[in-house]
Structures are given as structure tokens and as C-alpha cells.
């Protein structure tokens, strides 16, 4: 299977990252364990979560699963900090970075995190302070590599420059919102920077909160899942055009809209691996088919044009 390096770090992963945002939300422990088992059985290793998901519930479930399976050294754990956990518990100041990582390590029942990510920019904290805090964590062996999420190109470029000038660790990955529908925040300046600097890209909302699965075709479908309330933003001419293109490619390829959407993402310059979540073994199997699907040049063209 295709395996890709995460930036310039020593971490190499397959082209799919399992999203842990649903654990402790729409997937309890009993549901999550079979999903995680199926994901690893399919040949994948990277699991993305954040301290804020379920206010620690996601990390806790993943930690219990790793302990039960005894497989910590066989998986890559990506987690994030910075979003508000409680009043006064947010941001990227050095003191809070240390507090947050220790809390995540405890919930995950591990002594190291493979990729520790700044969940969102913190305008109140100099980037040098945050990178300095991450440097100490790496030196202590608590973190292997660091990444950013929701950064703009200028923010990421500034962080890379600081890392060079101050001899600090650099962000090896960026986690942007990116999918067939939402492309503006990544394509262009940020994508060019990531490709040039060899920063790995692990997009979230790869399936546009479920819209790109094709199961939402009218407002009556919004009640199909807790994410249905988010569908309003996609129900417009652009969204319908994308669904039409997905249906066209599905007819010729035999793949589902979700699988085709993931295959399109994997084919985009700079993308290391899309993040996608699942609440059933069947969904995991579909995600695996998607990232292994090779679309023709014509199919890629049709999809790309539809999402402009």
C-alpha cells in the first residue's frame, strides 16, 4: 500500500487517518472498539483526536482501546490542544501546553504522542513561545513531532521561519478543512507553501460532514444523523453540481460517492492522508476502498471542475 511521510518527520503513514471526533459523541466505547479494530485490521495506523472532542472522552476511549489491545507501538496517535476545554483552559501559552499534554497523555494511557497539534492559532501567544514549549516536550520524549491546524499560509510561514532562526522544531503537518466542496482555505497559497516546504497535509471534514456521502439529497434527509444540521451550507447550486459529478463517476467506477470523494483528495498535490471518521465496521471498509481507489484523469477533471 502507498505509505507517505508526515512532513520531514520519521512518521510514515498510510493515506487514511481515522477521525476520533465521533468517539464519545455519536460512537460510545462499545461502538468505537470494533471500528478501531477494523481500521487497524485494514492496514492503517494513524488515529486523530483532540482533547476537546467530547471534553476528553475521545482520548479516553482511544486510551482504553490501546490498553485492552496492547498495541500502542503499532499505531500512530495524533491529538490536538488549544480549543477551550473549560474556562481559562485554552490557547497555546507555554504553561498551558505543558498542562494540556500531561492531561492528554493520562487520558490516552501512554507516555508519548506521535503528532501533537496546535488545534487553532492563538493570537494572544507569540509563536516562538509555543514552539519553545513544544521543543521541551520533544526533548522529554513526550511528543515525537508537532503540527498545526487551521493555520493560514502567513501563519505557517512565520512558524517555519521562527523554527529555522531560533533552532526550534517546526510544524511537520497542517490540518486544514479541505474537500471537494470546501477548497478555498487550502488551495492556492497554503497548498503551495506545504508542497514547497514538505509539510504534510491531513485534511479534516474530508467528506464535508457527510454531505459528500450522497445521503443528503433534500432537507428531509437532515434528520438522518446528528450532523444533518450542518447540511444547509452545502445545499446550493455548487453542492448539487458536485453531487451530480459524484453520481456520474460512481456510475462508471462502481464506487460510492464517499469513496470517490476520498480518492479525489488523495490525488491532490501535497495531501498526505485525509481524515475521515466512522461509526461502523462497514464504514471503515468503505473508507479503505476510497483511499485505495485510483480515479482516471477524466474523472478527476470532472470532479475538480464541479467543485470550483
Say what percent of the chain tops pLDDT 70. Answer: 95
Q: What is the SS3 string spanning 187-212?
A: CCHHHHHHHHHCCEECCECCCHHHHH
Confidence grade of residue 218 (pLDDT, cut at 50, 70, 90)? low
Per-residue pLDDT, 74: 98
Question: Residue 222: pLDDT above 70?
Answer: no
Clarify whether 53 is annotated catalytic. yes
Taking residues 132-151, report their average pLDDT.
Answer: 98
Model pLDDT for residues 4-57, shown as the tens digit of each residue: 999 999 999 999 999 999 999 999 999 999 999 999 999 999 999 999 999 999
| Mean pLDDT of the chain, nearest integer | 95
CA distance 143 to 137: 6
Model pLDDT for residues 253-277, shown as the tens digit of each residue: 999 999 999 999 999 999 999 999 9
Per-residue pLDDT, 216: 76
Confidence grade of residue 194 (pLDDT, cut at 50, 70, 90)? very high
Bridge partners of 9, per DSSP, are none
Beta-sheet strands, E only, within the chain? 4-5, 12-13, 17-19, 46-48, 76-81, 113-118, 143-149, 171-175, 200-201, 275-276
Per-residue pLDDT, 19: 98
Q: Which of 53, 116, 181, 204 is catalytic?
A: 53
Query: Which phi and psi angles does 264 have, rounded to 5°?
Result: -65, -45
Per-residue pLDDT, 221: 59
Confidence grade of residue 214 (pLDDT, cut at 50, 70, 90)? confident
CA distance 191 to 181: 16
Domains of the chain and any CATH numbers: 4-306 (3.20.20.100)
CA distance 245 to 306: 6
Question: Residue 201: pLDDT above 80?
Answer: yes
3-state secondary structure of 50: coil
Per-residue pLDDT, 11: 98
Q: 270-283 b/e with 16+ CB inside 10 Å = b?
A: bbbbbbbbbbebeb
Say which residue the cell 497535509 belongs to: 201
Say which residue the cell 504534510 belongs to: 200
Question: Residue 231: pLDDT above 80?
Answer: no
Per-residue pLDDT, 215: 84
Per-residue pLDDT, 235: 87
Longest dimension (CA), the chain: 55
Amino acid at each position: 500500500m502507498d505509505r507517505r511521510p508526515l512532513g520531514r518527520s520519521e512518521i510514515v503513514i498510510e493515506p487514511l487517518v481515522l477521525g476520533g471526533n465521533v468517539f464519545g459523541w455519536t460512537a460510545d466505547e462499545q461502538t468505537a472498539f470494533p471500528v478501531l479494530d477494523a481500521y487497524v485490521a485494514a492496514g492503517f495506523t494513524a488515529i486523530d483526536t483532540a482533547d476537546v472532542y467530547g471534553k476528553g472522552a475521545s482520548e479516553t476511549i482511544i486510551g482504553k482501546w490501546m490498553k485492552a489491545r496492547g498495541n500502542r507501538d503499532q499505531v500512530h496517535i495524533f491529538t490536538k490542544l488549544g480549543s477551550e476545554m473549560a474556562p481559562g483552559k485554552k490557547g497555546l501559552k507555554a504553561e498551558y501546553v505543558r498542562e494540556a499534554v500531561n492531561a492528554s497523555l493520562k487520558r490516552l494511557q501512554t507516555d508519548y504522542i506521535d503528532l501533537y497539534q496546535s488545534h487553532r492559532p492563538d493570537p494572544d501567544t507569540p509563536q516562538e513561545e509555543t514552539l519553545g514549549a513544544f521543543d521541551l516536550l520533544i526533548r522529554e520524549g513526550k511528543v515525537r513531532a508537532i503540527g498545526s491546524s487551521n493555520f493560514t499560509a502567513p501563519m505557517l510561514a512565520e512558524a517555519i521561519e521562527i523554527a529555522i532562526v531560533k533552532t526550534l522544531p517546526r510544524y511537520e503537518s497542517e490540518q486544514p478543512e479541505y474537500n471537494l466542496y470546501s477548497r478555498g482555505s487550502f488551495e492556492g497559497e497554503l497548498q503551495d507553501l506545504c508542497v514547497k516546504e514538505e509539510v504534510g497535509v491531513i485534511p479534516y471534514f474530508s467528506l464535508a460532514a457527510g454531505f459528500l456521502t450522497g445521503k443528503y439529497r433534500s432537507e428531509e434527509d437532515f434528520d438522518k444523523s446528528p450532523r444533518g444540521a450542518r447540511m444547509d451550507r452545502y445545499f446550493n447550486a455548487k453542492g448539487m453540481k458536485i453531487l451530480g459529478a459524484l453520481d456520474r463517476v460512481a456510475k462508471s467506477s462502481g464506487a460510492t460517492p464517499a469513496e470517490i470523494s476520498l480518492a479525489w483528495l488523495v490525488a491532490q498535490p501535497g495531501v498526505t492522508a485525509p481524515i475521515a471518521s466512522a461509526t461502523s465496521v462497514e464504514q471503515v471498509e468503505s473508507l479503505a476502498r476510497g483511499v485505495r481507489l485510483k480515479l482516471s484523469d477524466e474523472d478527476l477533471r470532472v470532479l475538480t471542475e464541479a467543485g470550483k
